[in-house]
């Protein structure tokens, strides 16, 4: 029998006798291989775990970086918003202080400054600068006022003479000066312009006594007031009672003027500018939009507590054929050749459930039966939406035909 020899195979020492491995050595060799395989598998699993952990760590780091970026951006926005709020408060405080000093518009826009510069050759540029200052301090007037007084075609000497003429007008004692003198002057000129225009003047001016009647009937002292064809804003400013209620709380049980919100729309650009100036002169806050109320309603979701309006009479050019199936025509499609009952239904559409409307219509609209107007009028009356009709003395309002 040969002496056993030792051999190495794949890192294992094996005992060989007569050139053969014993069964015990074979088992030992296989067990060793399996142990190494298991160790290799464990290491591979560990490496895979480490790799998965590394991947999750990278993903977590990316998410963390994104969250940190978002938080940094949010903090930056908050700091910016806070800085803007501080700036706005500081600016408002500064303006308030300037108003206390009587200089909220700056010297350039104060009347004594314009009066003192009336004879200067550059008076047109000086007036334009004053207008710019007024728009700067009154955002509601931005883009409304003309800045054309420096144009070559305007006689600067006559402009200066006009300023001197206005400066020499006596407005009475202290009590009268404290009243709405400028507003009344503006209203006077509007009425004179309307008178000169004849029938066309009704598009931007409604006589004061007519407005006062509507206001007294509706008493719009609290809530949302709407005029979709507001002209120069007469429905909002021509009644002294309405102005007092808006400015001082009269009729609101002493509450603040914020109890009244004003909404208006005017299609004519020039007339819209008149309305914006008319309201600004009296210090009335309002949302006055420019555009066609039929085809470009700027307040489609508004449901007003009060509608006050004097729409154009018998308007045949309102492009009604484009609105035959409009949702506002609850009581019947108005004729394409006459907008009277289109206006009436527009008013009704924009009323709140308990809202009331007062408006002016052509006398003929109370009796006309053309193109379905009679059916529309009957449907409105049968819906119990008519409280009263007021007509000129001697003219029967045809209530029986309603």
Burial class (CB in 10 A: 0-12, 13-18, 19+), 340: buried
Residue where the block lists tokens 């555009």: 291
Residue 234: which of 255, 213, 252 has the closest Cα? 213
pLDDT in the model for residue 101: 46
Same domain (yes/no): 161, 261: no
Q: Are residue 66 and residue 120 in the same domain, yes or no?
A: no
Claim to verify: residue 65 and residue 211 sit in the same structural domain:
no
Main-chain phi, psi angles of 47, to 5 degrees: -60, -40
Over 80: is that where the pLDDT of 261 sits? Answer: yes
CA distance 267 to 289: 9
pLDDT attached to residue 254: 47
- Of 169, 190, 222, which residue constitutes the final position of a domain? 169
Report the pLDDT value the prediction gives residue 326, as an integer from 0 to 100. Answer: 95
Whole-number pLDDT of residue 341: 96
Helix (H) or strand (E) holding 6: strand 5-9
Q: What is the CA radius of gyration of the chain?
A: 41
SS3 content of the chain, % helix, strand, coil (to 5): 55, 10, 35
**Which of 103, 121, 155 lies at the terminal end of a domain, its last residue?**
103
Q: For residues 145, 150, 151 and 154, what is the CA-based torsion angle, rounded to 10 degrees?
A: 100
81 vs 69, 147, 280, CA distance in Å? Answer: 18, 34, 29
Tokens of 262: 């004003």
For the chain, give the longest Cα–Cα distance: 152
According to DSSP, residue 256 is labeled -
Nearby residues of 128 by Cβ (< 8 Å), 6 or more positions away: 147, 148, 149, 150
Average pLDDT, the chain: 79
| Cα–Cα distance measured from residue 80 to residue 387, given in angstroms and rounded to the nearest whole number | 55
Residue 13, beta-bridge partner list: 8
Q: For position 160, what pLDDT does the model report?
A: 94
Task: Give the per-residue pLDDT at 256.
Answer: 41
| Residue, of 37 and 224, whose pLDDT is higher | 224
List the structure tokens of 352. Answer: 């709140």
Average pLDDT over residues 53-63: 75
| Cα distance between residue 351 and residue 357, in whole Å | 8
140 or 59: which leads in pLDDT:
140
Half-sphere exposure of 197 (CA within 13 A, CB side): 14
Distance CA 53, CA 121 (A): 83
Q: Are 204 and 232 in contact (CB under 8 A)?
A: yes
Looking at the domain assignment, is residue 322 inside a domain?
A: yes
Instruction: Compute φ and ψ for 354, nearest 5 degrees.
Output: -110, 20
Residue at 5 is within a domain: no
pLDDT band at 402 (very low <50, low <70, confident <90, very high): very low
From 38-47, 156-165, 333-342, the region with the lowest mean pLDDT: 38-47
**7 domain-assigned:** no
pLDDT in tens, 108-152: 888 888 999 999 999 999 999 898 888 888 888 888 888 899 999
Q: For residue 334, what pLDDT band results from cuts at 50, 70 and 90? A: very high
Average pLDDT over residues 65-80: 81
On whether residue 13 sits in a domain, the answer given is: no
Residue 42 pLDDT greater than 90, yes or no: no
Share above pLDDT 70 across residues of the chain, in percent, rounded to a whole number: 72
Phi, psi of 351 (to 5 degrees): -85, 140
pLDDT of residue 143: 85
User: Token match 């402009």: residue?
Assistant: 159
Same domain assignment for residues 281 and 228: yes
Residue 99 neighbours by CB distance under 10 Å? 12
Q: Is 255 found in the same domain as 384?
A: yes
Residue 276 lies inside a defined structural domain of this protein: yes
Confidence at residue 238, expressed as pLDDT on a 0 to 100 scale:
61
Cβ within 8 Å of residue 177, ≥6 positions away: 171
Measured between alpha carbons, how far is 197 from 301 in angstroms, rounded to an integer?
35
Query: Which of 103, 118, 152 corresponds to the end of one domain?
Result: 103
For residue 204, pLDDT beyond 90:
no
pLDDT tens column, 87-103: 777 777 766 655 554 44
| CATH number, residue 305 | 3.40.50.150
**What is each CA distance from 397 to 310, 388, 394, in whole angstroms?**
18, 10, 9
Looking at the structure, do residues 200 and 90 belong to the same domain, yes or no? no
At 318 the pLDDT is 95
Helix or strand run (H / E) with residue 276: helix 269-281
| Residue found under tokens 């108005």 | 334
Instruction: Report whether pLDDT(41) > 70.
Output: yes
Tally of CA atoms within 13 A in the half-sphere of 286 that contains its CB: 33
**Residue 6 maps to a domain:** no
Q: Work out how many domains the chain is built from and give that number.
A: 3
Kindly tell me the sign of the dihedral angle through the C-alpha atoms of 354, 359, 365, 370. Answer: negative
pTM: 0.64
Same structural domain, 202 and 341: yes
- pLDDT band with cut points at 50, 70 and 90 for residue 240: very low
List the structure tokens of 72. 């940094």
> Domain check: are 118 and 192 in the same one?
no
Q: How many CA atoms are closer than 13 Å to the CA of 241, on its beta-carbon side?
A: 16
Each residue of 182-198: pLDDT tens digit?
666 666 666 675 565 55
Q: How far is 294 from 320, CA to CA, in rounded Å?
A: 9
Domain membership of residue 11 (yes or no) is: no
pLDDT at residue 190, rounded to an integer? 66
- Give yes or no: residues 156 and 128 share one domain: yes
Same domain, yes or no: 256 and 370: yes
Do 191 and 148 belong together in one domain? no
Report, as an integer, the average pLDDT of 292-311: 95
Q: Is 9 contained in some domain?
A: no
For residues 224 and 281, membership in a common domain is answered with yes
Q: What is the pLDDT of residue 243?
A: 54
Domain of residue 155, residue span: 105-169
Which residue would you say has higher pLDDT here, 111 or 358? 358
- Phi, psi of 187, rounded to the nearest 5 degrees: -65, -40
Query: What pLDDT, in 10s, does the model give residues 217-233?
Result: 888 878 899 999 998 88
- Rounded Cα distance between 63 and 80, Å, is 25
């Amino acid at each position: 029998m040969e002496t056993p020899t030792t051999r190495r195979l794949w890192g294992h020492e094996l005992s060989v006798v007569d050139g053969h491995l014993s069964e015990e050595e074979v088992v030992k060799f296989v067990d060793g291989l399996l142990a190494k395989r298991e160790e290799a598998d464990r290491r591979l699993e560990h490496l895979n775990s480490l790799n998965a952990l590394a991947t999750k760590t990278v993903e977590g780091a990316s998410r963390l970086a994104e969250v940190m970026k978002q938080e940094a951006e949010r903090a930056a926005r908050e700091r910016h918003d806070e800085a803007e709020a501080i700036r706005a408060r500081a600016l408002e405080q500064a303006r308030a202080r300037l108003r206390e000093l009587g200089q909220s518009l700056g010297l350039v826009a104060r009347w004594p400054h314009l009066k003192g510069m009336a004879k200067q050759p550059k008076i047109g540029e000086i007036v334009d600068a004053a207008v710019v200052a007024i728009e700067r301090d009154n955002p509601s007037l931005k883009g409304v006022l003309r800045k054309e007084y420096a144009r070559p075609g305007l006689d600067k000497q006559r402009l200066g003479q006009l300023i001197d003429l206005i400066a020499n007008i006596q407005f009475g004692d202290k009590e009268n000066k404290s009243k709405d003198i400028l507003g009344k002057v503006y209203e006077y000129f509007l009425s004179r312009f309307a008178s000169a225009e004849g029938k066309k003047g009704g598009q931007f001016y409604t006589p004061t006594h007519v407005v006062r009647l509507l206001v007294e009937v509706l008493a719009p002292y609290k809530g949302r007031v709407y005029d979709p064809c507001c002209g120069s804003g007469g429905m909002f400013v021509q009644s002294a009672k309405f102005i007092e209620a808006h400015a001082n709380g009269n009729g609101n049980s002493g509450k603040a003027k914020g109890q009244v919100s004003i909404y208006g729309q005017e299609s004519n650009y020039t007339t819209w500018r008149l309305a914006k100036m008319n309201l600004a002169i009296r210090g009335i806050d309002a949302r006055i939009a420019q555009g066609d109320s039929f085809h470009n309603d700027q307040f489609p979701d508004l449901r007003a507590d009060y509608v006050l309006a004097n729409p154009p009479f018998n308007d045949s050019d309102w492009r009604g054929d484009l609105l035959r199936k409009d949702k506002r025509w609850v009581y019947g499609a108005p004729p394409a050749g006459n907008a009277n009952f289109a206006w009436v239904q527009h008013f009704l559409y924009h009323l709140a459930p308990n809202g009331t409307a007062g408006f002016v219509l052509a006398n003929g609209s109370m009796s006309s039966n053309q193109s379905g107007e009679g059916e529309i009028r009957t449907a409105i009356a049968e819906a119990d939406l008519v409280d009263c009709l007021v007509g000129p003395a001697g003219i029967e309002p045809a209530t029986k035909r309603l």
